[in-house]
Structure 1
Amino acid sequence: MAFVLTSPGFETGQILPQAQVYNGMGQSGANLSPALHWQGAPEGTKSFVITAYDPDAPTGSGWWHWVVVNIPPTVTSVPEGAGSGKGGLPEGALQVRTDFGAPGYGGAAPPPGHLHRYVFTVYALDVPSLDVTADSSPALVGFMVHHHQLAAARLTALYGGVAR
């Protein structure tokens, strides 16, 4: 079985629901992290990491919207709002700082007139935890993930549009 990531709110290539859009920076969404479900993790998986990343952000390095580490290997889903303080992250999981400057989910907020991709990824790792803190950068987490990744499952949504 392949390692697969799904969400009940959207499929790859679809428009991100307003629930997952930021409330600020010109947007008026609910800023809730999406419900995510994964299956088919490879044998030997000892933890998971979830990331949400916008490669199209006009920064030169994209924009990290959500990073959660140290998810136990027995967990295969998170509910909507888990990264937004609504509960549902498993015990031991840790959200680290995003490009919004604080840990937790920050929804889609592209500049007016721009269509962006939002890539949600679950990584299966060969270690039970990453030695990071809530103030660690997404780049540090990415470096560690790169060295411990067994597999990755992705789901890409779109948000934004042409200028009116």
Structure 2
Amino acid sequence: MLILKPLLLLAALLGPSPAQAVPFSVTLSPNDPALACHATSTPVLTFGPPPPGTRSLAVLLWDQRPGKLSGRWLVFDLPVKTTRLDAQNASRLRAGGGKAATNDAGQPGYTAICARGRHDIYVDVYALDVPSLGVPAGTPLRKVHALIHQHKLQEAKLHLVRVIP
């Protein structure tokens, strides 16, 4: 079971420009097949438009359970004009013109969520002030996440709740 919560949270170092007609945002369907246990493809995400000054984008999907936070997928060095990531093989280290990290499960790319119980799924899209983080595809997720925070202009967030019986 998935419950979609409000999908915009615009907390950032820089606020949205008054000229922006649409706020920086991210969407993920609660029925996306990639959210099923043992899925072998990545989620479909749409996002945009980033704030002025953005030079690249990064996307991070987290799974939070009581006492545990796990990074399931991180794509970075995405071209600034990227507005969508389509489904692809979950173990690929390239996505949408960007690079994928090795996730917290030690796997390249995306790993589906299978453990029983409540899962809070967070998707963060980051507008960055550099065209590249300067690390290769397959770099550990936590290392890339630290680099993202050094270059973050703004972030858009999505929160889904999933209960696996």
Q: Structure 1 unaligned runs (5+)?
A: 11-15, 24-29
* CA distance in structure 2 between the aligned counterparts of 1:153 and 1:141, rounded to whole angstroms: 18
Instruction: Report the TM-score, using the length of structure 1 for normalisation.
Output: 0.77
- Point out the structure with the larger strand share: 2
1:120 shift after superposition: 1.1
Q: Which amino acid in structure 1 is aligned with residue 43 of structure 2?
A: P
Residue 66 of structure 1 corresponds to 73
> Do residues 41 (structure 1) and 47 (structure 2) align?
no
Q: 1:97 aligns with which of 92, 98, 102?
A: 102
Deviations 1:73-123 (A, max 9, x none): 0111111236454x98233x111100221221111123x2x2011111111
Residue 113 of structure 2 corresponds to 108
Q: Which amino acid in structure 2 is aligned with residue 98 of structure 1?
A: N
Q: Which amino acid in structure 2 is aligned with residue 122 of structure 1?
A: V
Q: Which amino acid in structure 1 is aligned with residue 108 of structure 2?
A: P
Report sequence identity in percent. Answer: 27
Residue 32 of structure 1 corresponds to 41
**How large is the RMSD of aligned CA atoms in angstroms?**
2.3
* CA distance in structure 2 between the aligned counterparts of 1:142 and 1:150, rounded to whole angstroms: 14
Q: Structure 2 unaligned runs (5+)?
A: 1-21
> Do residues 146 (structure 1) and 156 (structure 2) align?
no
In the alignment of these two chains, the number of paired residues is: 144
Instruction: Report the TM-score, using the length of structure 2 for normalisation.
Output: 0.76
* CA distance in structure 2 between the aligned counterparts of 1:161 and 1:54, rounded to whole angstroms: 13
Residue 27 of structure 1 corresponds to none
Residue 24 of structure 2 corresponds to 3
> Do residues 20 (structure 1) and 35 (structure 2) align?
yes
1:51 shift after superposition: 0.6
